[in-house]
Structure 1
Amino acid sequence: MSTSPALPPKPRRLPRRPASTLAEKWTRIDGIDVFYRESPRPPADRRVMAHIHGFGLSGRYLLPTAERLADDFHTFVPDLPGFGRSGRRKDMLDIPDLSHATADFLDDRGVEKATLVGNSMGCPVIIEFAHRYPERIDRAVLVSPAGGLHNQPLRRAIGQLSADATREPTRMARVAVPDYVRFGVPSTLRLFRALTQYPSLQRLLEMRIPTLVVLGQRDPLLPHAHRVDEIASQTDSHVLVVLLEGAAHAINFSHPDQLAHVIRLFMDDQPIQNDSQWPGHVRLYEVHRGKHHPRPTSGSSA
């Protein structure tokens, strides 16, 4: 009796309806399958921008902002190993490991230097990347940085996250909850410990690249703006801090038009200006500007 030939392995399936206008792709790095999104037709001369997700999440919630910048920059949005649809590593990643995983991803994509845009935990990952690989980062955009003393202990952070959930768009839950469930409680406890032990402030003050910090005025995970200004003023040149009125923590998801707008201005060394088409309760305010950043013109609304 004849036997049927062995069937070839099934190709890895993507969702029938892509979640993004960015191209959805896979690569394999150090034996781990890594899922990422990329500008579908990136021009060769565009600056590279990679978006780094937060604690327990995939890159999916970063897409609203990343998509708005995909025509201006060669855009990447990876799920770092252990997060989202990417494979897990046997050992749990900490902040230095995640910065190294970011460098490995850029190596795999043939990227020598990039601007990195992070949200929440993605910000200390970027800060560590700048510490380890200063020659490989052009600029840093830190949106709603997390992990400092203001978020300790864990029960306090959980309370802050619970308060933030009521301030985010309801559709955010459809994106975040599956990611958190997939990430799991044991991973959450281990990574939270690593996040709170990471010296974010010290590393930030050591950075010497142009850095934009964007804060949500309604973000319960962050200290008050005057404390942020006090911290930022310890640097003499590289930090620009902007407050977004009406926003909470997940600004990349809730206010993509405003965030993409301020990122473009920052990347082109332009003054921070508001758009007259925005709703009246949404405004950008400059909190701190290092001396090497250009001052706003008289027409600015910052």
Structure 2
Amino acid sequence: MGTKATPRRAPRRPESSLAERWTTVDGINLFYRESPVPPDAPAMMHLHGFGLSGRYLLPTAERLADEFHTLVPDLPGFGRSGKAGDALDVPDLAHAAARFLDDRGIEKATLVGNSMGCPVILEFAHHYPERIDRAVLVSPAGGLYNQPLRRAVGQLTRDGSREPPRMMKVAVPDYFRFGVPSTFKMFRSLTQYPTLERLLQLRIPTLVVIGDRDPLMPGASRVQEVAAATDNHVLLVKIEGAAHAINFSHSGELAHLIRLFMADKPIVDDPGSPGHARLYEIHRGTHLPPADDRGIGR
């Protein structure tokens, strides 16, 4: 009798229409997704949040991939990427992001971050101001509002009930992979990070996007107060109905908003998405192109 053939394992289905690739940065295997490079397209890198990978950023990143050289890495210690000898903190992740761009031969990029990705962007801009074109800070997290840990856990729990159910299928495996020891060290680094100080140092056009159902963010009035203190280079936009993971839950609205910001156009709702979440600006710095009447709600 012949031996029974071993069934072949079906190849893993790609998670994204972006190409899935590996590289090595500082001796660590780094997983990332990358779009084909349109001619003369500016580079845009998307940076994920606490404990997560770049998977949940893909809905927004894919919508922008035809217009920008789009990169979505899993930072060292997160997602499918390898871990460093010690868990990384916010400055370490910013330096790792810069070295990843070096590896890809990219001198300058617009950085789009969600949650923890926003402090990483601010630290990147602090050390490499000549390498960042614009900053897009979506649901920026960290600082006193998310302390102590039990309060942050409660905020995350409330947020989980406000996100699309399919977000949990993405987030839960990432959190388990990240692990408890890394969680405590990264949380300490994130909540001690001088977010406001770094934001005030920025001198580039900056878009801040918040959701009105995000329990990890202070109220819009406090966010607006901070934005108004940043030497008038910040555009602050609120998306009604959105919680924390806007890049996943409201990718159409966010991608539309990013396109307008990158083109210095007034903020208006997407005419192709009638009846969906409304977005409108609540602060525009005087150093940014002015909005007309169409830019305030609809």
TM value normalised by structure 1: 0.93
Q: How does 1:201-212 map to 2 (within 5 A)?
A: 201-212=196-207
**What corresponds to 2:195 in structure 1?**
200
Give yes or no for the alignment of 1:30 onto 2:16: no
Q: Distance in 2 between matches of 1:281 and 1:50?
A: 26
Tell me whether 1:172 sits opposite 2:167 in the alignment.
yes
Shift, 1:280, TM fit: 3.0
Q: Which residue of 2 aligns with 1:84?
A: 79
Provide the rounded CA distance (Å) in 2 between the counterparts of 1:238 and 1:67.
27
Deviation of 1:258 after TM superposition, in Å, equals 0.2
- Matched-pair contact (CA < 8 Å) for 2:281–2:295: no
Q: Deviations over 1:130-150 (max 9, x none)?
A: 000000000000000000211
Deviations 1:67-110 (A, max 9, x none): 00000100000001100000000111000000000001000000
Aligned length: 289
Out of 180, 184, 209, the residue aligned to residue 179 of structure 2 is: 184
Between the aligned partners of 2:276 and 2:58, the Cα distance in structure 1 is: 23
CA separation in 1, counterparts of 2:225 and 2:296?
A: 22
Amino acid at match of 2:155: Q
Aligned partners of 1:245 and 1:281 also within 8 Å: no
279, 283, 297: which is aligned to 2:292? Answer: 297
User: Is the contact between residue 99 and residue 125 of structure 1 (CA under 8 Å) also seen in structure 2?
Assistant: yes
Q: Does 2:279 align with 1:252?
A: no
Q: Please name the residue that 2:64 is paired with.
A: 69
Number of the residue aligned with 1:9:
none
Taking the aligned partners of 2:247 and 2:71, their CA distance within structure 1 comes to 14
Instruction: Supply the distance in 1 between the matched residues of 2:68 and 2:108 (Cα, whole angstroms).
Output: 13
* Equivalent residue number for residue 14 of structure 2: 18
Q: Residues 134 and 204 of structure 2 are in contact (CA less than 8 Å); yes or no, is this contact kept in structure 1?
A: yes
The one-letter code matched in structure 2 to 1:200 is T
Opposite residue 24 of structure 2, the aligned amino acid is R
Task: State the SS of the aligned residue for 1:157.
Answer: helix
Q: Distance in 2 between matches of 1:15 and 1:291?
A: 53
* Distance in 2 separating the partners of 1:59 and 1:281: 25
Does 1:139 pair with 2:134?
Answer: yes
Label 1:177 to 1:247 Cα distance change in 2 as closer, same or farther (>3 A). Answer: same
Residues 274 and 301 in structure 1, CA contact (< 8 A), matched pair in contact too:
no
Aligned ranges 1:51-70 → 2 under 5 Å: 51-70=46-65
For 1:18, give the aligned amino acid.
P
1:215 aligns with 2:236: no
Structure 1: state its 5+ residue gaps.
1-12
Counterpart-to-counterpart distance in 1, 2:30 and 2:16: 17
Query: Equivalent of 2:279, from 272, 275, 284?
Result: 284
**Which residue of the partner structure matches residue 7 of structure 1?**
none
Q: Is residue 2:103 matched to residue 1:96?
A: no
* TM-superposition CA deviations, 1:265-300 (whole Å, max 9, x none): 000101100123435351012111110112222333
| Amino acid paired to 2:203 | R
Partner residue in 2 for 1:5: none
Does structure 1 retain, via aligned residues, the 8 Å contact 2:281–2:296? no
Distance 1:110 1:206 in 2: 27
Deviation digits for residues 164-204 of structure 1 (CA, Å, limit 9, x no counterpart): 00000000011000000000011000100010110000000
Secondary structure of the residue that 2:209 maps to in structure 1?
Answer: strand
The answer as to whether partners of 2:200 and 2:231 remain within 8 angstroms in 1 is: no
Cα RMSD after superposing both structures: 1.4
Q: Distance in 2 between matches of 1:187 and 1:102?
A: 19
Instruction: Give the Cα–Cα distance (whole angstroms) in 2 for the partners of residues 72 and 218 of structure 1.
Output: 30
